[in-house]
Amino acid sequence: MKTSRVFHAGLSTAAVALVLQGCAASGSPNWDSQFGNATRQITAQQLIDPRAPQRNGDTQPKADGRTAREAHDRYVETYTAPPPQINMILVAPGGGR
């Protein structure tokens, strides 16, 4: 009796494993071949002209060292001296019922 239960448990475990293996093997090759297509398609749709940086690369003026340093200094100043806080009073409409 005990041997029969062990045999049936082993048989059912093997059957479940075979069924799960068959399900997993059927869809994976199709998914793997199309992996990342949605991301590439959305990126392409968001770009009006993907070759614009190559065509228009020389039209932008180059920044010299002085301009870049001053821009960086102004950027750092925003963190060292934050703007003053504004005290606000919130008034809720609708009465106090």
Question: pLDDT tens digits for the chain (97 residues)?
Answer: 566 776 767 777 877 777 777 665 556 677 778 889 999 999 888 888 878 878 877 776 677 889 989 999 988 888 887 767 778 777 777 665 5
- Backbone dihedral angles phi then psi of residue 24, each to the nearest 5 degrees: -70, -35
How far from the centroid of its chain's Cα atoms is residue 61's Cα? 33
**What's the confidence (pLDDT) of residue 70?**
93
Say if pTM beats, i.e. exceeds, 0.75: no
Task: Quote the pLDDT of residue 95.
Answer: 60
Residue given tokens 């799960």 in the structure block: 20
Q: Are the C-beta atoms of residues 44 and 50 closer than 8 Å to each other?
A: yes
Q: How far apart are CA 70 and CA 76, in angstroms?
A: 10
